[in-house]
Amino acid sequence: MKIQICKKFSKVDKLQKRLIKAFPDDTVTVKSCIDMCKRCKKQPVAKVDGKKLKAKRIPSLIEKIDEL
């Protein structure tokens, strides 16, 4: 699974560490833009294999990714 997150998110380092811990076999990359403008600064968002996901909190985003 290829997981991309936006570098503009205020807690990008924390999100990246949590994703790497939750999905050690998958690729987690920080991109300058993942085409989710305005959302990426305020809430955790990710692009997983081309599918855009958003959540209010980091654990919720991890759950959504896990369901895929």
Q: What digits encode the pLDDT tens for the residues 46-60?
A: 999 989 999 999 999
- What is residue 53's predicted lDDT score, i.e. its pLDDT? 93
- What is residue 65's predicted lDDT score, i.e. its pLDDT? 92
* Residue with the larger pLDDT of the pair 59 and 41: 59
Name which of 21, 27, 24, 23 is nearest 3 in CA terms.
27
The Cα 5–Cα 52 span in angstroms is: 10
Q: What angle do CA 15, 18, 8 make, to 5 degrees?
A: 10
pLDDT tens digits, 12-39: 999 999 999 999 999 999 999 888 888 8
Which CATH number is associated with domain 2-67? 3.40.30
* Amino acid letter for position 12: V
> Taking residues 38-49, what's their average pLDDT?
89
Which residues on adjacent β-strands are paired with residue 54?
A: 45
- What is residue 63's predicted lDDT score, i.e. its pLDDT? 94
Domains of the chain by residue range: 2-67
